[in-house]
Chains A and B, each alone.
Chain A
Amino acid sequence: MSLLEVHDLRVHFQTDDGIVKAVDGVSFSVDRGQTLGIVGESGSGKSVANLTILGLTRSPITSISGRILFEGRDLLDASPDEMQHIRGEEIAMIFQDPLTSLHPFHKIGKQLTEAILVHKDVSTEEASARAIELLRLVGIPDAEGRLKAYPHEFSGGMRQRVMIAMALVNDPKILIADEPTTALDVTIQAQILRLIQRLQDQLGMAVILITHDLGVVADIAEYINVMYAGRIVEAGTLDQIFYDPQHPYTWGLLGSIARPDRPRAQRLSQIQGQPPSLLAPPQGCHFRPRCPYEFNKCPEIPELEARSGDPQHRDRCWLSPERKRTLRVVEGEQIGLEVPAA
């Protein structure tokens, strides 16, 4: 049994305009100590799926179905109090923007010790000793002195370190990092990614890294889910996704990146059109309207299945594996869709 198993998760929001199918049948699992990368663009449902794991999308307008098994127990059945315990102690989350995730009026030390005191029966002194230990762990210089600082006195990278320290307060088994480096500069991004990797080695937790940047997952993930319009369209190991991708959307994503380490392409391979509205997604395969290889089977929903032979490598595309190998365009060593004419 995996640490976390998500089965056929659906999260639908009732809005004035209709039902938004933000997550529409998502299944995946995470093992202890594993790093799972979830890649997708805006509106792909990657954040909503993970917020739902933490019970943060519950509201009168949301309908959630499926199962989220954490150590065998279904989190969708857990009461709000039980979820409060799960959040922070078992599963912790860090967000893209560390400035809005920290309270601007309270000192860092207070915010950290509060997080400790809520979950653990310890004295204030013990809590603040633990806070100092955590700040040291995430590489904040002069940890003791910095307890008295306010969030605005930290740089973006340092704030993200504080957020990570706060997430680690109770040694969670899973750390969900939602675009943790998107707001940061590249040199700082490299520092934070290194830090997450080091902490994972040290503490043995599982990490779910949500990002739009294939470069970031290439650096640290072992398994990758590619999401598009509320569904996982392809799932596999790092090597499978980067060197033998099966879904045309994955090809398009890989192809539209301007790679600094490869000879310069004349034109970037691009995905035509826009992602679909989640109010009325296309019938069958959601990528169909943008896919250059659409055929008569596509209006039927392709399930996420192993189609290329390896049970670990699953995708939602009706094309045969042989067809896929001939259709995907390889420019140099870069896989992509057809390059449009000027």
Chain B
Amino acid sequence: MTDALPRAATDGLRANGEGGLLEIRDLVKHFPIKSGVIIDREIGRVRAVDGVSLAVKEGETLGLVGESGSGKSTLCRTVLQLTPPTSGSVRFEGQELVGRSAQSMRPLRREMQMIFQDPYASLNPRQRVGQIIGTPLRIHGLASGEGLKRQVNELLERVGLGPEHYNRFPHEFSGGQRQRIGIARALALRPKLIIADEPVSALDVSIQAQIINLLEDLQREFKLTYVFVAHDLGVIRHVSDRIAVMYLGKIVEVGPAEEVYANPIHPYTLSLLSALPIPDPRANAEREQIVLEGDIPSPANPPAACRFHTRCPYATEICSEEEPALLDYGHGHWAACHHPLHREHPEAVSEALPGLSREPA
């Protein structure tokens, strides 16, 4: 892909006053599989993220759903340049992130923070809470001494903890409280974008609701933009304005949350929705479930053409021969499928990024 096209698309947007805070184009992350004792030979590649284009608008929550091995976590880390991408482009407020040195990346890191899944592994067990939350402020030279302590206490209070927790260690907290500490740390630098990688998956249901409500309050208060990764489709719908569904390193469907849930285009989305057990026995008995056969193929050796064709109940010959493009079905709803559910193939191929396409005239 040439450089000219993406720039044209994004420039047009900014002229419209509609900001794409984060723009991802053709992002690829392959991990080499190596073998050999003295000389490493590359014998294969894990195609964790394999050509993802996506935009995130300012102030929205983009939900990213997919099963294990779909590449959601790798996508998050690659976007934040925590792991360098193999190819592709990531722009944050129009600035290219790919290929930056660690030093020139640093001021941008203030704007982009991450919340991790495991509240046990993502907090240093030897540091006190005050230190954990204060470190980002200190590193970026934003506060020191008494000012630092005051800011940390404000953050603690904002996430539902108190000044009495300042000198405690992470092991003294429950899972939900630890996740609050992780959120306070992410919030310390007043970022614009927070990428939350399965922030509630490790928590009990009653605590999950507390954390989700907290994240929503913070979004309103600090005008945050979220990329929210989860495998729980109920949680994802509750928090998201738009949803992107990933399967084996590719985006198979993107669209407004309600639209994707009510009228999914891709059979994979439909099967994910129908596999989700609903806590309502009567509704469960009424709905028709598609139980997918087989396992998720390995991303080291993904099926050719449409990656879902090995498990898809609607697959035909073309699915194993030609890779379906991610097409615009109108109203910001995109999908990559040869057999879209209840819809005709769109005629014109739009060039804008999913999520940034203008409404059809």
What A residues does B44 contact at CB under 8 A?
A: none
Interface of B is mostly: helix
A193 lies within 8 A of chain B by Cβ: yes
Of B177, B220, B276, the residue contacting A260 (CB under 8 A) is: B276
Of A212, A218, A242, A265, the residue contacting B205 (CB under 8 A) is: A212
Evaluate contact between B206 and A256: CB separation under 8 angstroms.
Answer: yes
The smallest C-beta distance from A132 to any residue of chain B, in angstroms, reads 21
- Can you report 11 residue pairs joining A to B where beta carbons are below 8 Å apart? A186-B276, A187-B291, A218-B279, A219-B281, A238-B281, A257-B205, A261-B280, A264-B237, A271-B206, A333-B280, A340-B213
A214 lies within 8 A of chain B by Cβ: yes
The residue of chain B having its C-beta at the shortest distance from the C-beta of A249 within the complex is: B206
The smallest C-beta distance from A43 to any residue of chain B, in angstroms, reads 9
Complex: how many Å from CA A131 to CA B219?
A: 55
Instruction: Give B contacts to A, CB under 8 Å.
Output: 67-68, 174-177, 204-210, 212-213, 216-217, 220, 231-235, 237-239, 257-258, 261, 271-273, 275-284, 287, 289, 291-293, 295-296
Evaluate contact between B278 and A259: CB separation under 8 angstroms.
Answer: yes
Looking at B175, B206, B212, B277, the one whose CB has the most chain A CB atoms below 10 A away is: B206
Evaluate contact between A274 and B174: CB separation under 8 angstroms.
Answer: yes
Of B210, B273, B280, the residue contacting A218 (CB under 8 A) is: B280
What B residues does A191 contact at CB under 8 A?
A: 291-293
A103 lies within 8 A of chain B by Cβ: no
Complex: how many Å from CA A157 to CA B273?
A: 19
What A residues does B231 contact at CB under 8 A?
A: 185-186
Evaluate contact between A260 and B233: CB separation under 8 angstroms.
Answer: yes
Evaluate contact between B278 and A218: CB separation under 8 angstroms.
Answer: yes
The residue of chain B having its C-beta at the shortest distance from the C-beta of A191 within the complex is: B291
**Chain A 300-321 near chain B by CB (<8 Å), digits 1 or 0:** 0000000000000000000000
Evaluate contact between B296 and A185: CB separation under 8 angstroms.
Answer: yes
A57 lies within 8 A of chain B by Cβ: no
Complex: how many Å from CA A20 to CA B218?
A: 37
A42 lies within 8 A of chain B by Cβ: yes
Complex: how many Å from CA A185 to CA B68?
A: 7
Of B204, B232, B261, B276, the residue contacting A42 (CB under 8 A) is: B204
Complex: how many Å from CA A268 to CA B277?
A: 19
What B residues does A259 contact at CB under 8 A?
A: 234, 278-280
Evaluate contact between B277 and A215: CB separation under 8 angstroms.
Answer: yes
Evaluate contact between B277 and A157: CB separation under 8 angstroms.
Answer: no
**Chain A 28-45 near chain B by CB (<8 Å), digits 1 or 0:** 000000000000011000
Complex: how many Å from CA A250 to CA B74?
A: 37
Evaluate contact between B275 and A189: CB separation under 8 angstroms.
Answer: yes
Complex: how many Å from CA A268 to CA B238?
A: 9
Within 8 A of B (CB), among A259-281: 259-261, 264-265, 267-272, 274-275
Of A187, A218, A239, A271, the residue contacting B275 (CB under 8 A) is: A187
Within 8 A of B (CB), among A116-155: 155
What B residues does A56 contact at CB under 8 A?
A: none
Complex: how many Å from CA A33 to CA B105?
A: 62
**Chain A 169-203 near chain B by CB (<8 Å), digits 1 or 0:** 00000000000000001111111011000000000
Evaluate contact between A264 and B258: CB separation under 8 angstroms.
Answer: yes
Also in contact, A190 and B209, with CB within 8 A (given A219-B284, A259-B280, A261-B283):
no
Complex: how many Å from CA A155 to CA B258?
A: 33
What B residues does A330 contact at CB under 8 A?
A: none
What A residues does B234 contact at CB under 8 A?
A: 257-260
Evaluate contact between A186 and B278: CB separation under 8 angstroms.
Answer: no
A3 lies within 8 A of chain B by Cβ: no
A109 lies within 8 A of chain B by Cβ: no
What A residues does B278 contact at CB under 8 A?
A: 215, 218, 259-261
Also in contact, A186 and B233, with CB within 8 A (given A215-B276, A259-B280, A265-B238):
yes
